[in-house]
A and B are shown apart, each in its own frame.
Chain A
């Protein structure tokens, strides 16, 4: 079971992702609606999230910038991008994300990615 921080500016998406994650036996430990909030949440969360699900295009601070900052604070942070913007792939991986899943994602693909990176 993983403790997950969901970062996305779409409020409804938080609800459906949380339901999916719960079905998969995971726990949502925090919600953030832009990169800056993600950074604040990450610092506050104790213990830190096992996985961060990160959108890219968000107001205030985008996902890649937030990822760079989070990885700077904790290089072992595990961040998986879930984004509708395929063109952000390189930026996401360069900023320190472990994986990039293109929306819309199936639960199966999400859990496979979890399994892969929780083990590592």
Chain B
């Protein structure tokens, strides 16, 4: 008797909506929360049917579900929409199971949680995201066209034989700034896209990625030469990642080129597996001005945009960190020569990899 009292107090005390539906779709039982949420009184229940409280578009599906339960099945993670007496929609999710008396199934009992607020929040989030994507997309498209026009105008000036040579460096600086603005715009777009869309994961040969990126970066600096030393070997290590993997190395090598004041910029990229782990350690070492200890964490932080803009990194390293997190990887920055940041930076990237041996093994299988 005490147990029965306990069960009844739990059923009446919970905020979950509980009902028990008979084979003719009338209600055998509903709890207090069910009545309060749907706006009915005890006296209404005997005249109600399932179709009265289920959103019209869901009635057929839910009726079929009840039939399944009455034949003895259990269903979890059931999602449907209840209608209140006033016609408001209540999003619920829960479980349905058969109620037996002896060996006979006499009703389908459901425990449901009201998730309307969560659904509403999700809907608002989705709408906000779509709006943000649209605006970013519009901004990216139009600003990129404007940048193209400025950049080409600068180039027309440079190619003009009568353009004063003493002004060329100003125009070159202008060109680089336009390209910097374009990269910032593209990085914003990529960060937004990373969250919004799932991207196809393919196998990348890390040596080839680095080689291609190095060429692209060098092309961006007409007055500098990239001296890249690397032990990266084509065909040796592969990374499973999306199309943005090259952005990781683009950003790192580009920063090295940008901040090194010499005409010939030395960058070393060392690749080695981390023993007893699934990770490949990729160290990108440069001879630039380095990063002081107090800045080492800040340069990757999304929350330090003002700081980053002082340092001149834009959103590049924020994107790098986000990409690596998506790949289950990691990045930090150290001094190239430990204890002396002025001798250059060492960006240490950990990425999950597959070796040639792993891939041969997989092919055999």
Contact = CB atoms under 8 A, between A and B. Distances in A.
Interface in A80-120: 84-87, 103-109
Interface stretch (A14-22, A28-36, A68-76): A14-22
Interface in B176-194: 178-179, 182, 186, 193
Contacts of B152: 13, 16-17, 19-20, 104, 107
Interface of A is mostly: helix
Question: Which range holds the interface residue count of chain B?
Answer: 10 to 19
Contacts, number: 53
Given A104-B179, A109-B219, A19 B156 contact: yes
11 contacts: A13-B149, A16-B152, A19-B156, A20-B152, A23-B159, A57-B141, A84-B145, A104-B152, A104-B179, A105-B148, A109-B219
Closest 3 interchain pairs by CB? A84-B144, A16-B152, A104-B148
A107 B159 contact: yes
A106 B140 contact: no
Contacts of A106: 151, 155, 219
A21 B140 CA distance: 25
Interface of B is mostly: helix
Interface string B156-190: 10010000000000000000001100100010000
A10 interface: yes
Contacts of A23: 156, 159
A93 B209 CA distance: 21
B156 A20 contact: yes
Contact of B178 (A16, A104, A107, A108): A104
Interface string A1-14: 00000000010110
